[in-house]
Amino acid sequence: MIGTPPGTAAANAAEGGYAVRLHRMLALGASALVLLGACGTGGSAGPAASGAPSVAPASGAVSAAPSAAASPGASSVPGSTSSSAAPSAAANSIASQMALGGPPECPQRPFCLIGLEKVYGLHFKAFVPLDAGGPLTVAALRTGKIQVGELFTSDPSIQVDNFVLLNDDRHLQASDNIAPVIRTAVLKAHPDIATLLNRISAKLTQQQLVSINKQVVVDKTDTATVARQWLQQNGFMPTGGSNKGTIVVGAVNFPENELLAEIYAQELQANGYTVTRKFGLASREVIQPAMESGQIDLSPEYLASLTEYLDKGAGKATGDPAVTSRILQTYLTPKGETVLNYAPATDENGFVVTKATADRYHLVNISDLAKPAS
């Protein structure tokens, strides 16, 4: 029997978005209520709709101290506290005109504000503490309280609100691409499974992941229905075969992971496998021991998160998914597991703006925020 071991803090302790996804999906579930409201009201309103970069006063906001080149009396958010001064070159950047919103710990995290400053040279007008990719951040983007928000790259609100996910062109985030992990003994006995699942990975784009998450989380469509429709639309079903054996597919208890597991399960069934589903498991601390013991054969995983879990937060994961996948395999091999091909789709920290803001400033990449403001 698969049980929950005492304590699950280890997987939640790593910085910058490596925490087990079930915690962030609590925020995603809450934001579904906000998203449903957007569906009924037409989405953004206020300053965000016009693309104006004005910063509404926000309690607890942290404003960037003006540089030596900044004019005296430069505006700041009431009640804010000073942060490190931005270089004069950054004082006239697009970012310097904007407020960044995200989880309260963002200013202390290397994959959030610290990384944006060090990797991209960005210094924002203010930081507004909100939540971890949840409804507060979504609402603040809609109303113009912030102009840049940290969300997860597979968040349905990106589609619902037509937000623009800025490309992480300097690889600040470690690569949390989606990939199937399978017991090596099962793969050796059934090598066609690699072909079947690798084809799925090749087809799963970021836009598609956001879309199918929206169908489950916001539209409340049955997970099995969404999985079947995605497979059919991408040319996977129907296929053929029978009596190939039984595969146990596991998933942790949040909608995206269960949806991905259901896609794997249905494709295996369509190709002659009997599938036993063990969904709704508490965390990676449950799935990993179950895979090592043979109670689970296959599960959808995230490259950087699993790497950080297995290396106990040593920071081995990189911004290159190919490199991270190879590193991950070195940890999986002694456990009798194999990571298959990763998808282009990710579930990691991302930074978004409204479409109006993206259009106004011609924003595509995070590095575009360092360009001079017009």
What integer is the mean pLDDT of 106-115?
94
What's residue 133's pLDDT?
Answer: 86
- Provide the pLDDT confidence category of residue 20 given band limits of 50, 70 and 90: very low
Q: Is the pLDDT of residue 55 over 70?
A: no
For helices 255-270 and 206-217, angle between their N-to-C axes, nearest 10 degrees = 110
Over the stretch 263-314, which tens digit does the pLDDT of each residue have?
999 999 999 999 999 999 989 999 999 999 999 999 999 999 999 999 998 9
Over residues 320-342, the pLDDT tens digits come to 999 999 999 999 999 999 999 99
Tell me the per-residue pLDDT of 28-50, one tens digit each, with 9 for 90 and over.
444 444 444 544 433 333 333 33
- Residues 6 or more apart whose CB falls under 8 angstroms from that of 256 comprise 21, 25, 154, 209, 213, 216, 347
pLDDT of residue 2: 59
* Percent above pLDDT 70 for the chain: 76
- Span of 7-21, 83-97, 139-153, 235-249 with lowest mean pLDDT: 7-21
Q: Which residues, 6 or more positions from 285, have their beta carbon under 8 angstroms from its beta carbon? A: 4, 5, 7, 8, 10, 11
Please give the Cα distance from 80 to 285 (Å, whole number): 40
143 token code pair: 């109303």
- The 148-152 sheet, strands edge to edge: 81-82, 62-63, 126-129, 99-102, 148-152, 349-353, 164-165
Which of 134 and 87 is assigned the larger pLDDT? Answer: 134
CATH code for the domain defined by 174-339: 3.10.105.10
Calculate mean pLDDT across residues 243-249.
94
| C-alpha distances out from residue 155 to 43, 53, 197, 335, Å | 15, 23, 23, 32
Q: What is the pLDDT of residue 311?
A: 94
In the beta sheet, which residues pair with residue 153?
none
DSSP 71: P
Q: Which helix (H) or strand (E) holds 200?
A: helix 192-203
Q: What is the pLDDT of residue 65?
A: 34
* The pLDDT of residue 4 is above 60: no
Domain boundaries, the chain: 26-173+349-370, 174-339
Would the pLDDT of 25 be above 70?
Answer: no
pTM of the model: 0.78
Residue 187 and residue 341 in contact, taking contact as beta carbons nearer than 8 Å: no
pLDDT bucket at 184, cuts 50 / 70 / 90: very high
- Distance between terminal CA atoms of the chain? 62
The Cα 38–Cα 36 span in angstroms is 5
Reported as a pLDDT band with limits 50, 70 and 90, residue 61 is low
If you average pLDDT over every residue of the chain, what do you get?
82
DSSP state for residue 66 in the 8-state scheme: P
